[in-house]
A and B are shown apart, each in its own frame.
Chain A
Amino acid sequence: MKFGVVVFPGSNCDHDCYDVVADVLKQPVEFIWHKETKLKEFDCIIIPGGFSYGDYLRCGAIARFSPIMEEAIKYANNGGLVIGICNGFQVLLEAGLLPGAMMRNTSLHFICKYVKLKVENTDTPFSSQYKKGQVVRIPIAHNEGNYYIDEKGLAQLKKNNQIIFRYVTNPNGAVDDIAGIVNTNRNVLGMMPHPERSSELILGSQDGVGIFKSVLDWLATR
């Protein structure tokens, strides 16, 4: 199963994602430079965390118009698996691949710590390795993780079971404690916590590796 990790100027979790795929999952993986206009054959694309374009204007707003994003949007609309982590989630929101928008944390602080997440839906390509209601420890590291969606949008998310992870204790003011969502087709995941930083015991937790292993499982059954 071939993974691609998109690299923008300012991405800083790209190597962590690469490392998890190459060394933990033992799968082929390639970096994809943001200026590329053609996507090769990939089974899953990861948009990593960081500060693409210095977070100028709004987080993800400029990265969203990178040449590679046009291809990534096509890829997602054709059913390809896309994971956006932290800044990657913000890029997916700005690109309109996921609903809602990201606001500054209510505390106005950059928060970097382990948080507990409740797994809300295991019936997706990204969460089959977990049990519904399971609580996992995955770290967050963000200043703009305060997820916003209007009431109508929230009702849609709930109705379609698009909320995958909720914070057990809300760290940032996110609507309905939302930490991670999928699109209605369930092939695009966005989450603020960093599973790539919690996929090996040596890092303090391997609760995050379930996301990547779920993807492998899902792809194996295709």
Chain B
Amino acid sequence: MSTIVSLHNVSKRFGALTVTDDVSFDVPEGEALGIIGPNGAGKSTLFNLITGTLSPDSGRVEYDGRDVTRVPPMQRCLSGIGRSFQIPQPFDRLTVFENLLVSATHGRGLPEGAVEEDCAEVLERTELIKVANSPAGGLTLLQRKRLELARAMATRPKLLLLDEIAGGLTEGECVALVDTIKAIHGEGVTIVWIEHVLHALTSVVERLLVLDFGKVIGIGDPAEIMASREVREIYLGIEV
């Protein structure tokens, strides 16, 4: 199985604060990788480095066998990196359907006629079809989270980055969302998922990566990672 994204000794500093500290890892194509870590561990920054919103101070980011460290965000989007945001950022003045159209046409470089049906299908799968013609500015939290997922899906990504998509949802909502994510993963989309809702995460991912103060402190089988002493101390705050 080939590697779809890999980071090699990537570091990023904001002033004196090192938010990504010599991070290296590979994600094989088709895998679902979960990323956990305390608040401020640098999880979202890691996503920004993969999507290209931020450039690393040192190290390399490779995607699909190419060095993309200096490739601008929109090029990366065109080549198949889709992302959802922790704080949903829809275009408030556009309708839900228009939000999807924009990502689909520009994210895939296709005319609207070619993606309309696809967008409708994504709305169906993410259960947003009923609010398709409402402005995105008026959606509820759950709907905004769903729109984040739908918008990322509308670009037909090879690599889907999910940033705390399950945060703030009720148990039932969370289960429904996890089912959708499982279905997407089942179609062969590689997923990297940052999440605090551990049971949602571990029901999907094959490997877990733990980040603390910008450093990778563990990566591997979820059960083994969760059982390790270091992770329990740092992440779960359990004295062992």
Task: Decide whether A and B assemble into one complex.
Answer: no
Interface residues of B (CB under 8 A from A): none
Interface residues of A (CB under 8 A from B): none
